[in-house]
Amino acid sequence: MSFSEDLFKELSIRSEYEPDYSEKSTNLRIFLENAILSGNIKMIQKIDSDREQIKDLKLIFDEDLSIVKLYIASTITSFVSISIKNGLPKDVAEIAKKRYYAKIANCNNKEDLVHHYLKIVEELIEAMNRYSIKNYSLVVKMAIEYIHNNKFKFIYANDVSNAIKTNRCYLSKRFKDEVGQTITDYIHRVKMELAIELIESNIYKFNEISELLGYANYSYFSKVFKKFHSKTPNSYIKGI
């Protein structure tokens, strides 16, 4: 029997013979789903700062650490899928999911695991609040999807409007009104969020990241990075 099959067998047995466990774990999942969909990060922060709540969470996850990790990973997958269905761009969600899995894998005890679990949900809520396109008009949704799908190219606002066959001035105004920032700033922000992921991967050099994201030279890339993250790439990596 595979490890994942063992997990589901363990959880099924426990749910069948321990109704309280089943109810608590189900209530927790529903609570976290509602927090993600409502965008209410305070719900999670309240749990994370309450010792009794943390104690209850640890009781819910009263299993072998490796089983708890797999269970949490499966719920995170579910949360990410729900977020995508509710407007989170798929590329943002998939990048985040990989980072979440790495955090879970690196936890060595249940206290850290619970803490990171809640922090992951916080990050997902922040991503939903920042990137969700569910409530935008169709033309703005199309623009955002085009930007995310072309984040490895250097594109301008004019490229976006041409791609979705919309007047640039009309799109720029509509975009600013709905998203709260210019198309150009949004393009850079998407790239700078990805730049963080690439830097933290320790795979690429700064100039390689600059090229991957479509910037003509590292100097300009560094300037844009500092605008969004208040420090240069070099300063950022030193602070990790």
> Rounded to whole angstroms, how far apart are CA atoms 115 and 196?
22
pLDDT at 59 over 70: no
CB 142 within 8 A of CB 174: no
CA dist 111 and 55 (Å) reads: 9
Which pLDDT value is given to residue 9? 46
Per-residue confidence (pLDDT) for residue 90, from 0 to 100: 85
Both tokens assigned to 7: 């997990």
pLDDT above 50 for 61: yes
pTM: 0.67
For the segment(s) 138-238, the CATH number from 3.40.50.720, 1.10.3720.10, 1.10.10.60, 3.90.650.10 is 1.10.10.60
Residue 16 has pLDDT above 60, yes or no: no
Query: How confident is the model over 20-46, as pLDDT tens digits?
Result: 445 666 777 888 888 888 888 888 877
Q: Report residue 8's pLDDT band, with 50, 70 and 90 as the boundaries.
A: very low
Secondary structure letter of residue 152 according to DSSP: T
Q: What is the pLDDT of residue 5?
A: 44
User: Which residue ranges make up each domain of the chain?
Assistant: 3-131, 138-238
Nearest one of 173, 136, 180 to 157, comparing CA atoms: 173
Residue 151 DSSP class: T
8 compared with 127, residue with greater pLDDT: 127
Q: What's residue 65's pLDDT? A: 81
Tens of pLDDT along 100-150?
Answer: 888 888 888 888 888 888 888 998 998 888 888 878 999 999 999 999 999
Higher model confidence: residue 8 or residue 111? 111
Q: How far apart are CA 164 and CA 183, in angstroms?
A: 13
177 has pLDDT over 60: yes
Which long-range contacts link 43-47 to residues 24+ away (Cβ below 8 Å)? 44/118, 44/121, 44/122, 44/125, 45/122, 47/118
Q: How many residues does the chain have?
A: 240
Phi-psi region of 97 (alpha: psi -120 to 50; beta: other; left: phi over 0): alpha
- The mean predicted confidence, pLDDT, of the chain is 83
Q: Look at 24-38, 86-100, 149-163 and tell me which has the smallest mean pLDDT.
A: 24-38
Report which DSSP code applies to 52.
H
Give me the helices (H) in 39-151, please: 41-48, 51-60, 65-85, 90-105, 110-131, 138-149
- 51 or 6, higher pLDDT: 51
pLDDT(17) > 70 = no
Average confidence (pLDDT) over 84-105: 85
C-alpha–C-alpha distance, residues 198 and 177, integer Å: 31
Q: Which residue has the higher pLDDT, 153 or 114?
A: 153
Return the pLDDT at 102: 84
For position 48, what pLDDT does the model report? 66
Q: Are 206 and 218 in contact (CB under 8 A)?
A: yes
- Crossing angle of helices 90-105/65-85, nearest 10°? 170
At 51 the pLDDT is 60
Residue 59's contacts (CB-CB under 8 Å, 6 or more residues apart) are: 24
Are the C-beta atoms of residues 154 and 120 closer than 8 Å to each other? no
